[in-house]
Structure 1
Amino acid sequence: MPIDQTLAEYSDWAYAAAALVYFLALIAYAVEGAFGRSRKAARELVAAGPVPIGVIEEPARRSLPERFGRSAVALTVLGAVLHLAALVLRGVATGRAPWGNMYEYGMATMFVAVVGWLVLLRKFDIRRLGAFVMTPVVILLFLGFTVLYAEAAPVQPALKSYWLVIHVIAAASSSGLLLIPGVVSLLYLVRVRHEGGAPSRVGARLAPADTLDRVAYQTTVFAFPIYTFGIIAGAIWAESAWGRAWGWDPKEVVAFVAWVVYAGYLHSRATAGWRGTRAAVVNVVGFVMILFNTFFINFVVTGLHSYA
């Protein structure tokens, strides 16, 4: 199928626009995080007791930082719409699943991360973490458009399989979702350090430690089965394409090591009662393995997956 270069160009424009909107959202999140008062603090202020007339109504009005926070969420939604448009246009332009190279894979992964973040916003009072979550998204999208960019083209013959849809979307979805608990676990360590006698301005403005712990754990619980399915689907595809399900290729090995780390994290939480700092460290190690496998293995180490 010939490549529709016009649609491919529109996809690039939508990608760049999404990255710009995410950057603006990052700034708005940062303003609320730096200058805003948490919703809990605002409620406590209202319930604190008698105050002069005119002051008691102040918390009911949205403060300027809170308006920045709400605008940040709106910008994130707009960015996600543009992001989805970039993916769809790329797929239509090439006539295939839009994750056939590292540029497209990164685009899909970051889209899942943003959607996951928006879903978590509806469940947890964590909007003030937005700047920390959006920072890696913006950085990775920027690197994708500058360092990893690839012209719209057919995939290599080795990737012409329906498993490209099944295996890669599972890998991209789980990796995007696991970005969130990776970042949140890092923030948990900062918060615990703040509460443990090493106060910091950043730690003081983060969500409570138990909230951060629950966000990291519940997101990992959801993402881990998808990651597991991605590994299994990859083994089935390898059996079909290369005549073996497992060949100790560097990407296979690191993916399995990351799986073991996350499995250990979930198992220790369920059986040994690991919570807090130890669990957060394990979760961060798992996410570092995901990043290592996505970038270092693909570009530095030679293996059967190097074509991506």
Structure 2
Amino acid sequence: MILAAADESLADLSNLLVYSSMAVYGLAFLAFTAEWIFGSRSKVGRTAAALTADEAGAEAAGAGARQPAVTVRTAGGTSVLDPPKVVTRSATPARDAVPDGPGAANGDVRGDTYGRIAISLTVLAFAMHLSAVVFRAISVARGPWGNMYEFSTAFSMVIVGLFLALLTARRNVRWLGLPLVTTVLLDLGLATTVLYTESAQLVPVLDSVWMWIHVPLAIICGGLFYVGAVASLLFLARDRYEAKIAAGGTPRPLTASILERLPSSVSLDKFAYRINAAVFPVWTFTIIAGAIWAESAWGRYWGWDPKEVWSFITWVAYAGYLHARVTVGWKGRKAAYLAIAGFVAFLINYYGVNIFFEGLHSYGGV
């Protein structure tokens, strides 16, 4: 049975709000870009100094160790005095000392102003975006994720909500704004042009209580996986940049201008790990919930359907990521590659399976 839209006028209002949110996201994109372009470029020298601070401390300590003992002849005999102590700066992990990016310390007033404008526009766009998803749900009297268009709009709404939630928690994540808004615009553009589906479409198998458990959890997990993947990608760029400076190299001005606005590589690595570690148990439960739903809908818990296979591949990729970090001590580049591979598997699970594969899950509509 296919359910008709409860209210076409609300469905049209939802579409209008999606387009309106895209316009405001576009303005936020320009404001975030202005923050990165017009922000302070003076941190290059400070980064180089931070990266070489431990080397200077080590050299000073070595010089102190090489000071010879002092022999003093007095009337009472000969005395040997200890060498003078050399006070050095404590050596800390160099890359952990690098100043963080947009919205953090060492930014200038002009760049910070653009950043605040960008956040305000993002909040406004999110309010429109959220309203669009809510009106879509009311118009069809069900969860607003019954096809690929609805899943895409809900997915991009969730990642913006996560971004704003992290900002509200007073975490310095404004550096995430530019790539995030860019992704949201691409996602909504694809949703409204290629993936758009009329609001009345729904297949009977989706009319289940599990639609309110399994699918929303998958959307939330996807949003968190996205945040972790972006942090891992930016880590790779920032780590290479810091290594070049530490080796005495001179980065290109444009590269330095961009990468100086990111947190240090150590901060990005820790951030990605914490996000992925937090979401992994939820993703595990999401797969279990899907299996329970499959048993009630198709009479079996697991049948190696293409979407089930790629859900499992995604789970294995992130399980390997967490296992490698805990047992082998993989950090940095190797761990980042695994995290990115896991998110690529998630994207294949969503786009590739629904568009290019035939299976029991191929009912999302394109």
Counterpart mapping for 1:114-125 below 5 A: 114-121=160-167, 122-125=169-172
Cα distance in 1 between the residues matched to 2:275 and 2:27: 25
Code of the aligned partner of 2:36? G
Code of the aligned partner of 1:76? T
Aligned position for 1:11: 14
Unaligned 5+ segments in structure 1 are 45-58
Structure number having the greater helix percentage: 1
Code of the aligned partner of 2:218? A
SS at match of 1:90: helix
Structure of higher RCO (CA pairs closer than 8 Å, 6+ residues apart): 2
User: Post-superposition shift, 1:269?
Assistant: 2.0
User: Is the contact made by 1:110 and 1:176 (CA closer than 8 Å) also made in structure 2?
Assistant: yes
User: Post-superposition shift, 1:16?
Assistant: 1.2
Bigger shift: residues 119-128 or 257-266: 119-128
- 1:250 and 2:306 matched: yes
Aligned position for 2:33: 30
**CA pair 61-149 structure 1, distance change in 2 beyond 3 A:** closer
User: Post-superposition shift, 1:61?
Assistant: 11
Aligned position for 1:210: 266
Code of the aligned partner of 1:273? G
User: Is the contact made by 2:226 and 2:343 (CA closer than 8 Å) also made in structure 1?
Assistant: yes
User: Is the contact made by 1:170 and 1:227 (CA closer than 8 Å) also made in structure 2?
Assistant: yes
SS at match of 1:265: helix
Structure 1 residues 125-144: Cα deviation after superposition (integer angstroms, max 9, x where no partner): 23133111221121011100
User: Post-superposition shift, 1:7?
Assistant: 0.4
Cα distance in 1 between the residues matched to 2:306 and 2:333: 30
Aligned position for 1:128: 175
**CA pair 38-161 structure 1, distance change in 2 beyond 3 A:** farther
Equivalent position to 1:90, from 129, 132, 136:
136
Code of the aligned partner of 2:341? V
* TM-score relative to the length of structure 1: 0.89
Equivalent position to 1:145, from 177, 185, 192:
192
Cα distance in 2 between the residues matched to 1:139 and 1:151: 20
Structure 1 residues 232-268: Cα deviation after superposition (integer angstroms, max 9, x where no partner): 1100011111111110111100110111111111222
* Cα root mean square deviation, aligned: 2.3
User: Is the contact made by 1:33 and 1:129 (CA closer than 8 Å) also made in structure 2?
Assistant: no
* TM-score relative to the length of structure 2: 0.75
Aligned position for 1:302: 358
Larger Rg belongs to: 2
Counterpart mapping for 1:38-53 below 5 A: none
Cα distance in 2 between the residues matched to 1:39 and 1:158: 58
Aligned position for 1:172: 219
Counterpart mapping for 1:190-269 below 5 A: 190-197=237-244, 199=251, 200-201=255-256, 202-269=258-325
Cα distance in 1 between the residues matched to 2:135 and 2:259: 41
User: Is the contact made by 2:217 and 2:286 (CA closer than 8 Å) also made in structure 1?
Assistant: yes
Structure 1 residues 36-92: Cα deviation after superposition (integer angstroms, max 9, x where no partner): 139999x99xxxxxxxxxxxxxx9996222111011111111111111101110011
